[in-house]
Structure 1
Amino acid sequence: MSASAADAPYAALDPITVLGALQDAGFPCDGRLLQLNSYENRVYQAPLDDGRVVVAKFYRPGRWSDAQIAEEHRFALELAEAEVPVVPPLPLQPGPALEVDAALPTLGHYEVTPGQRFRFAVSERWAGRAPELERPDTLAWIGRLLARLHGVGRRERFAHRRTLDVATFGRQPRQRLIDAGFVDPEIDRGWIAASDAALDEVERAFERHGAPALIRLHGDCHAGNVLWRDEGAGAGPHFVDLDDCCMGPAIQDLWMLLPGERGAVEAALYHLLDGYRDFMDFDDRELLLIEPLRTLRMVHHSAWLAERWRDPAFPIAFPWFSSPSYWSQQTTELREQLERMRDL
């Protein structure tokens, strides 16, 4: 991918292109499109001529390989087959500018210009609202569904997707930040020292508490990726966006649903695990990995912002990232994480 394409990877993805890709894939639209909130990919809601509504996800060029996307799709289809409430991709049909692999007909390659293609998938639109995570019964219900998701996740391993470990989500992103010049060794030396010490402590935490069992996970199971349906046979929570599915410990899919107020964490975790244990055993040693995993997410998130910073959408959405106070704040938070991990 050229430098200009990397800076603005979606410059050629206009509404006509989106509608053309859907038409070729067998989903003729009525001409309306609604762009949904997504920074990493481009996601559109599209009403069809037959009255149905679908969601089309166009993958960020260069982020995942075809093999990694294939594992995401197969995991979603496997979960749906097991009646875990996720939104799986739909089969596509090949068209004049659309290539579809017969072995995985849910992933399309749409040619915009010679040599430039967008990979995309289509799914049904499942509407919903934010879950009421302050309710014990809601937390227990989500816990039960996560246990069922993890039960499917334990059946086999990903061969191509990432593993949530210190190297992949900590050391490597940290080094990319430094190598790319986003961290100035003179100005930001506090962050450099704090991040290094915090990642050392993450490694010690994993060593102290034993290597956790690694399973296929949702990977990014925060409240925004859980939608609640109020009516019909599918009432209750369902999971969306398996874009970050990975190998990792089960607690990764639980801790991001906990409240920000630390005094309420224990009660929320009790209700989540109460539901989880209805379907799946849980290794309590993984509770000691919550702060280490939070630390990895902090470092990884900073690197994610830096690597996307030349995409025009990111400075608009995250203006504080370029502010002088950002690295100072991150330094303080990493030092706080270091103390929390030492107290485990």
Structure 2
Amino acid sequence: MDYITDGRLMALNSYENRVYQIGIEDSDPIIAKYYRPERWSDEAILEEHEFCFELANSDLPVVAPLVNEDGLSLFHHGEFRFALYARRGGRTPDIDNLNNLLVLGRLLGRIHLIGATHPFVDRPAIDCQTFGYDPVALVRRKFIPNDLSVAYESLVNDLLSKLDSIFTEAEDLHQIRVHGDCHSGNILWRSDTPHFVDFDDARMAPAVQDIWMLLSGDRERQTAQLVEILEGYAEFYDFRPQELRLIEALRTLRLLHYNGWLAARWDDPAFPRTFTWFNGPRYWEQHILDLREQYAALDEPPLKIFGP
């Protein structure tokens, strides 16, 4: 790629990778994403890129990597690996607008239709091991204060056991390629169309993984939101209603994984500087309370949208 920069460089808000907007002479700026060393293999990164290319080639509004004249999308400079993207502007979608959720549902249905055609080989699944046991092992080893360790140990052991049971009992659990981190911050609304960005967390998971993070509010509100999403979704892909049982389980795994992610990155100076509230006694007290709430939520009946 023969880009000539104009000297403008702006760091963008990203902690897992390093992302910059780079000014280009006589052209629009581009985005450079430098991958965190040792997180993903080259093969795993290329699987993410290939998924984006499949979606873009089917006219889905995703921001896929740029390729050079040799068709390459992953580049190396010394020990660093990076990809380049066209800059896309947009605003965060108003997910309180049910019409917007209908549109998002249609696009997610199309994404999952393609995601289900074949699996990832080099990217892991969202499951109890990678999002539960692994992050808990890291947190308990280095971060839980001594006076909270008994309460934490007892609670996470019960939680992980319950999560194991929920996923084991899930009928016909079907994992497909998903975005994996499909919250409103990874959707840019532009020209009345949502654009999906940042497939860095794409994994194998149940389809509902890309749906539940768009839900908010009380049970009645979440049900109304879910109805709109699935109305659009069903135009392109069949949703398995048994996956509704997994929403609170996936929410719990995300909570455990998020704390494990912060713990794993705590040696990176950017993390203590940014997440100043993490790793104090009051934080872990609140974390235990949050986990107790999730433990109770796992016993609640799932959202119901089909039948009486």
Q: What TM-score bracket applies, with the shorter chain setting the length? A: over 0.9
1:129 aligns with 2:91: yes
**1:325-344 to 2 correspondence within 5 Å?**
325-344=282-301
Alpha carbons of 1:260 and 1:45: their partners in 2 closer, same or farther (altered >3 Å)?
farther
Deviates more, 1:219-228 or 1:165-174: 165-174
Show the counterpart of 1:87: 63
Q: Secondary structure at the match of 1:40?
A: coil
2:179 to 204, 218, 224: 218
Alpha carbons of 1:191 and 1:211: their partners in 2 closer, same or farther (altered >3 Å)?
farther
Show the counterpart of 1:188: 149
Q: Secondary structure at the match of 1:339?
A: helix
Show the counterpart of 1:199: 160
Show the counterpart of 2:8: 32
1:331 shift after superposition? 1.0
For residues 178-234 of structure 1, give each alpha carbon's deviation from its aligned partner in whole angstroms, at most 9, with x where no partner exists. 23x11245433212221121111111112233242100000000110011002xxxx
RMSD: 1.5
Show the counterpart of 1:265: 222
Q: Secondary structure at the match of 2:169?
A: helix
**1:164-183 to 2 correspondence within 5 Å?**
164-179=126-141, 181-183=142-144
Contact persistence 2:138–2:263 (CA under 8 A): no
Show the counterpart of 1:278: 235
Q: Secondary structure at the match of 1:268?
A: helix
1:50 shift after superposition? 2.6
1:162 aligns with 2:124: yes
**1:308-327 to 2 correspondence within 5 Å?**
308-327=265-284
**How many corresponding residue pairs?**
301
Give the distance between the partners of 2:230 and 2:25, measured in 1 at CA: 44
Show the counterpart of 1:106: 73
**1:233-244 to 2 correspondence within 5 Å?**
235-244=192-201
Contact persistence 2:145–2:281 (CA under 8 A): no
Contact persistence 1:90–1:123 (CA under 8 A): yes
1:314 shift after superposition? 0.8
Show the counterpart of 1:99: none
For residues 93-130 of structure 1, give each alpha carbon's deviation from its aligned partner in whole angstroms, at most 9, with x where no partner exists. 6xxxxxxxx6x61000012xxxxx21000011111001
Show the counterpart of 2:306: none
Corresponding letter in the other structure for 2:66: L
Contact persistence 1:92–1:108 (CA under 8 A): no
**Unaligned runs of at least 5 residues, structure 1:** 1-24, 94-101, 112-116
Contact persistence 1:195–1:299 (CA under 8 A): no
2:114 to 152, 156, 161: 152
Give the distance between the partners of 1:187 and 1:138, measured in 2 at CA: 43
Give the distance between the partners of 2:76 and 2:103, measured in 1 at CA: 38
1:237 shift after superposition? 0.3
Identity %: 45
1:29 shift after superposition? 1.3
Q: Which runs of 4+ in 1 moved over 4 A?
A: 260-263
